[in-house]
């Protein structure tokens, strides 16, 4: 199962939207603490509507514990500083994708742990800062699922 990993997410509605995305695409969601909100936050619950029970959400106390949980899986980092365009990679069902904080992206010490070919970027127009976190996660989730011929979907 594809995994979406959020590194210290800050904005509840983004995480709520991603919970809903995961429920509808079969992706796992991994949250790396500290979170910028409580998981019972009203905005998060509203964005996720009633999809929380259909999504597999795992919390990790830190980056290292998340890495341990991902042992044996390929992990890709999404960043505006990535050099590899997201659509040039052939994905596997158990690949994982880590996204940084809404306000700062992935810290350099984490991004630096990824080989250049595992630092992905989504194309944007010049001079734009970044895409919304939940939109970027949706692009990746659907690209992987598309490459897997939407296995299990209807």
67 is in an annotated binding site: no
79 is in an annotated binding site: no
Which of 142, 3, 144 has the alpha carbon at shortest distance from 70? 3
125 is in an annotated binding site: no
DSSP string, 1-38: --EEEEES---HHHHHHHHHHHHHHT-EEEEESSPSS-
Give the torsion through C-alpha atoms of 21, 101, 113, 144, to 10 deg. 20
36 is in an annotated binding site: no
Binding-site entries: 78, 100, 122, 130
Binding-site annotation, residues for S-adenosyl-L-methionine:
78, 100, 122, 130
């Amino acid at each position: 199962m594809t995994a979406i990993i959020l590194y210290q997410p800050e904005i509840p509605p983004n995480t709520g939207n991603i919970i809903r995305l995961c429920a509808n695409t079969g992706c796992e969601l991994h949250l790396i603490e500290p979170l910028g909100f409580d998981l019972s936050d009203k905005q998060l619950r509203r964005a996720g509507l009633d999809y929380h029970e259909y999504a597999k959400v795992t919390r990790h106390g830190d980056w290292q514990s998340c890495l341990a949980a991902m042992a044996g899986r390929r992990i890709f980092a999404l960043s505006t500083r990535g050099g590899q365009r997201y659509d040039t990679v052939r994905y596997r069902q158990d690949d994982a994708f880590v996204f940084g904080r809404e306000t700062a992206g992935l810290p350099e010490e984490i991004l630096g742990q990824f080989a250049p070919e595992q630092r992905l970027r989504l194309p944007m127009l010049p001079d734009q800062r970044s895409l919304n976190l939940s939109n970027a996660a949706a692009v990746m989730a659907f690209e992987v699922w598309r490459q897997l011929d939407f296995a299990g979907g209807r």
